[in-house]
A and B are shown apart, each in its own frame.
Chain A
């Protein structure tokens, strides 16, 4: 059970930063609250009492998104359901609707934020592989005297290990900034123990862009989650595919490469088996999203003979 002395709801970034700077030790920032409440239960953290909880969901500077100069700047309060329902976000972040549909359920997606998912730094965080595949950056703010100062860094560098990030003690995450992937096909693969509300055992995100003929990989982005302490970007496979003619065999060959990079402490063999299929499916689904025909089971099998 989570208890606190104060539940604070600042409405501006400056107010939030002031409260955060002045908060007694042990206080926590709250975004969607969908992770902190289950965390403070028996079997995980148990009963937890915190001095202050600072809820950021009404900080106006953290709400909404902008698309500018090929980048999408997602305010830290953007929730997962927006990736499903917002036409503009779907166009610019084409893997995110597929990621979102596998994330928790419709109700939790109304509260859970992408920024919160990244800050939690779970090795299985669903939002992280697509964001690192989009060369995502994270923007943080803190007070320097009375002045708000911001810094950004790559999400791939921000994540330091399970639950560990580069966020400073007085900083608040303000935005996630991704490259616009307009024109790419996106896809997301996930396996867990049920359909809704499941933590990934393995997940994979892909973005694929083909040349105008639809026969050449113009660009490929791939990332894996749930396979080690932090999600993995697969740049060598991207390089291997970029500029090549699209063949089922090439995709199958590429999919065989990353299995040995699975470094999870548990169920390693299972995850290795899954990864091969996931990379192939992720690329194929992204190609289908670009307009390629859906391969049948026979075609899928043929590449593995």
Chain B
């Protein structure tokens, strides 16, 4: 391997270095120069967290071999505002509008916004959207980001006073007033370090061997060749776990690495900690695992059939959790109904796709405290579980929560922290693991897919007399948050409606699919999708306005829910009024088709088009031809 001799100007400073020939500009900046303001979200040019200027042109540094940058002028997020100096107008505008939430996409977003305004200081909103098209944000919905770019544009052009970048005057309450985020300056400047940005002296790099099979018995794992490879500090498997191996939010059914059996494709089987990532990857290829494949089940309804492959001995029916709720008498409710509507709803598995892939750094400190730094959304729970797993008293286990570059529930499960702790204990050195995007997608929890059968009885005036709701949900190979998600789905199954007779069943089921876990709304979304869709269908059948059918059934202040909770204040009436006004809704039953007059009005987004930047040129040509 022949190193490249590189010379470039980075943020105004001359840099001369040798670098491995395969490095990307991103690796060179982050690993060789420790400039971690530039992030890696996908490594495939999709997300834009790695945007930097090369000779004045914005590029994705994950797609640029470092050789291409040789001799170039590089500008990174660290170079926009000099150390200790003022933030740029773009950065201040991001701070002002609250455009930085988790912050992981923000350095790239600020770079793309800066590029857009350098390329065209008068760019309109459509052109700004286009020019930011290569950068993804998962938290904000983009509105605040676009708002920030427009403010920055107008301040730079002098159309808007610089005072527009200052905080709004404080009001009497945080509610209803814009309050700037305390952590925004560290995010818009790229100074905030996420777990994958952290380094420690003598740090090792971890790589994980994952199961290619959905269900198999592990006959033997031979790590001797991997362990013998120079540069490898340790190889760990389930055999290295000193304590009671099992984690999960409700049932501790998941070992930190597969123990005897793999239950889904992508499950961790062994892990290597080595001097660098390449050595760790090479060591993975030397680990020999012999599997005996077992019959697998991928459909939750098949999994509940007699004779289906069983995933966990404690659950011979493969049911992780069944939550039944009964109120009143549904049969009598249906008998009283003028109309009974039955339907079936399905939602799919969804990936959280936070911009920050999982990452963590673990070490054993001078007092033998096993310390794990990671963007964990539940460090106290993780700490208690890990203490049992590694058989240490609780005061010898510490979790430090690093900034979470987007979680949405996906970082509630202790999927990799146990491996890091074990490797740090075994090697006596700090160990870091940074997931690739592919690894994050293949191995971490997803939103529970749901199949919902719905039966609703109604009077002709729209009053609901009874609901029968059954949801079967694929929980995947391990329990994780399934029980809680089933509870929440059952609690919220009927929405904010006062229904006298209710029969609800939510059932989470083990399969050999990727585990399902916590995800924004935690089971409510699946239930609401069915309930609200069903209400619209019922409104159409009864010739009722969809707002009206909801008002006739909504809970009032003091209502008692089907789980016997008394609600002091119920706001659905206010919410319905606000939604009706904001949507310019024209009252009437669904199914009016084109005859309605409230389509395509104010606030309606035009279909997706591109080319805003040369629309004036096209218009000019048209004019000349005409």
Asked if A and B are interacting partners, one says yes
Say if the beta carbon of B278 comes within 8 Å of chain A. yes
Q: In the assembled complex, which residues on chain A have CB atoms less than 8 Å from the CB atom of B131?
A: 106
Contact B626 A291 (CB under 8 A): yes
Indicate if the CB atoms of A6 and B625 lie closer than 8 Å.
no
Contact of A33 among B68, B611, B617, B625 (CB under 8 A): B68
Return chain B residues, CB-CB under 8 Å to A55: 65, 67-68
Contacts of A289 in B (CB 8 A): 618, 621-622
Q: When each residue 51-79 of chain B gets 1 if its CB lies under 8 Å from chain A and 0 otherwise, what string results?
A: 10000011110111101101000000000
Partner of A42, one of B24, B67, B133, B439: B439
Contact assessment for A108 and B45 in the assembled complex, using a CB-CB cutoff below 8 Å: yes
Inter-subunit contact A195/B610 (CB<8 Å): yes
| Minimal Cβ-Cβ distance residue in A for B608 | A195
A37-B24, A195-B133, A291-B625 given as contacts; is B57 within 8 A of A7 (CB)? no
Chain A residues within 8 Å of B610, by CB: 101-102, 195
A18 to nearest B CB, angstroms? Answer: 17
B21 close to chain A: CB less than 8 A: yes
For B626, the closest partner residue in chain A by CB is A291
A229 interface residue, CB < 8 Å from B?
A: no
The answer to whether B556 has its CB under 8 Å from any CB of chain A is no
Decide: A108 and B134 in contact? CB cutoff 8 A. Answer: yes
- Contact in complex: A107, B48 (CB < 8 Å): yes
Q: Establish whether residues A41 and B621, one from each chain, have CB atoms under 8 Å apart when the complex forms.
A: no
Whether a CB of chain A sits under 8 angstroms from the CB of B115 is yes
- Roughly how many angstroms separate A98 CA and B615 CA in the complex, as a whole number? 11
Determine whether A135 belongs to the interface, using a CB cutoff of 8 Å to chain B.
no
User: A84 → chain B, closest Cβ, in Å?
Assistant: 7
- Residues of A contacting B625 with CB < 8 Å? 290-291
Query: In the assembled complex, how far is the CB of residue B274 from the closest CB belonging to chain A, in whole angstroms?
Result: 14
Decide if A53 touches B44 in the complex (CB within 8 Å). no
Residue from B46, B65, B134, B626 in contact with A106 in the complex, judged by beta carbons closer than 8 Å: B134
Bound state CA distance, A107 and B45, in angstroms?
Answer: 9
Which residues of the other chain, A, contact B88 by a CB distance below 8 angstroms?
Answer: none
A30 at the interface (CB under 8 A from B): yes
Question: Would you call B611 and A3 a contact (CB within 8 A)?
Answer: no
Contact with B along A32-62 (1 / 0, CB 8 A): 1110011001110001000001010100000
A238 CB-CB contact with B under 8 Å: no
Interface residues of A in 64-116 (CB under 8 A from B): 81, 84, 90, 97-98, 101-102, 104-108, 110-111
Q: Is A153 an interface residue (CB 8 A)?
A: no
Across-interface contacts of A30 in B (CB, < 8 A): 65
Q: Is the CB of B1 within 8 A of A5?
A: yes
Min CB–CB distance A288 → chain B (angstroms):
7
**B588 CB, nearest partner CB in chain A, Å:** 24
Question: Smallest CB-CB separation from A34: which chain B residue?
Answer: B63
User: Do B63 and A38 have beta carbons less than 8 Å apart?
Assistant: yes
A263 surroundings in chain B (CB, below 8 A): none
Q: Cβ of A38: which chain B residues have Cβ within 8 Å of it?
A: 43-45, 63
Contact call B281/A47, Cβ cutoff below 8 A: yes
User: Chain B: interface residue count, which band?
Assistant: 35 or more
Q: Which of B6-46 contact A (CB under 8 A)?
A: 21-22, 24, 43-46
CB distance from B381 to the nearest CB of A (A): 30
Q: Is the CB of B65 within 8 A of A197?
A: no
Is the beta-carbon distance between B439 and A291 smaller than 8 angstroms? no
**A107–B135 Cα gap in the complex (Å)?**
10
Residues of chain B within 8 A of A34, CB atoms compared: 45, 63
Q: Once the chains bind, are B622 and A37 in contact (CB under 8 Å)?
A: no
Bound together, the chains give a CA A34 to CA B65 distance in angstroms of 9
Judge whether A196 is part of the interface by a CB distance below 8 angstroms: yes
Check A106 against B621 for contact (C-beta < 8 Å): no
Knowing A107-B58, A108-B60, A197-B134, say if A7 contacts B22 (CB, 8 Å).
yes
**Chain A residues in 8 Å Cβ range of B70:** 9
- Chain A residues with Cβ under 8 A from B626's Cβ? 291
- For A37, the chain B residues whose CB sits under 8 A away are 24, 43-45, 62-63, 65
Kindly name the residue among A41, A102, A104, A105 whose own CB sees the greatest number of chain B CB atoms within 10 A: A105
B59 touches A7 (CB 8 A): no
- List residues of chain B with CB within 8 A of the CB of A166: none
Residues facing A in B495-510 (CB within 8 A) are none
Beta-carbon contacts under 8 Å, B427-456 to A? 436, 438-439, 442
CA distance A37 to B23 in the complex (A): 11
Please tell me if A1 contacts chain B, counting CB pairs below 8 Å.
yes
**Residue B613 lies at the interface, judged by CB distance under 8 Å to chain A:** yes
A286 to B54, CA, bound (A): 35
Residue of A nearest to B22 (CB): A3
Question: In the docked arrangement, what's the CA distance between A147 and B243, Å?
Answer: 71
Is A148 at the interface (CB under 8 A from chain B)?
no
* Contact of A291 with B134 at beta-carbon distance under 8 Å, contacts A3-B22, A9-B67, A107-B48 already known: no
Residue numbers in A under 8 Å from B48 (CB-CB):
105, 107
The answer to whether B134 touches A6 (Cβ under 8 A) is no
Q: Are A108 and B281 in contact (CB under 8 A)?
A: no
In the assembled complex, the CB of B6 is this many whole angstroms from the nearest CB of chain A, namely 11
| CB contact list, B546-586 vs A, under 8 A | none
**Is A291 a contact partner of B622 (Cβ separation < 8 A)?**
yes
State whether the Cβ of A149 lies closer than 8 Å to any Cβ in chain B.
no
- Is the pair A41, B436 in contact by a Cβ cutoff of 8 Å? yes
Instruction: Answer whether residue A257 sits at the interface, using C-beta atoms and an 8 A cutoff.
Output: no
Contacts of B4 in A (CB 8 A): 7
Tell me the complex Cα distance, A4–B3, Å: 10
Best-buried of B1, B43, B45 by chain A (most CB within 10 Å): B45
B614 on the A face (CB < 8 A): yes
Tell me whether A240 is interfacial, beta carbon within 8 Å. Answer: no
Q: Report how far A3 CA is from B442 CA in the complex, Å.
A: 23
**Pair A97/B611 contact, Cβ less than 8 Å:** yes
Say if the beta carbon of A303 comes within 8 Å of chain B. no
Q: Are B2 and A6 in contact (CB under 8 A)?
A: yes
Kindly name the residue among B48, B62, B621 whose own CB sees the greatest number of chain A CB atoms within 10 A: B621
Cross-chain contact B134 with A7 (CB below 8 angstroms): no
| Structural contact, B438 and A53, CB atoms closer than 8 A | no
Sample of 10 more A-B contacts, CB < 8 Å, known A41-B438, A107-B59, A108-B60: A4-B21, A4-B22, A9-B68, A37-B62, A38-B45, A81-B57, A84-B613, A104-B134, A107-B112, A196-B134
Question: Which 7 pairs across A and B sit closest by C-beta, in order of nearness?
Answer: A291-B625, A105-B134, A196-B133, A7-B21, A38-B44, A42-B438, A3-B22
Q: List 23 A-B contacts (CB under 8 A).
A: A3-B22, A4-B21, A5-B1, A9-B67, A9-B70, A34-B45, A37-B44, A37-B45, A37-B62, A38-B43, A38-B44, A42-B438, A42-B439, A55-B65, A97-B611, A104-B134, A106-B115, A106-B130, A107-B112, A195-B133, A195-B610, A197-B133, A290-B625
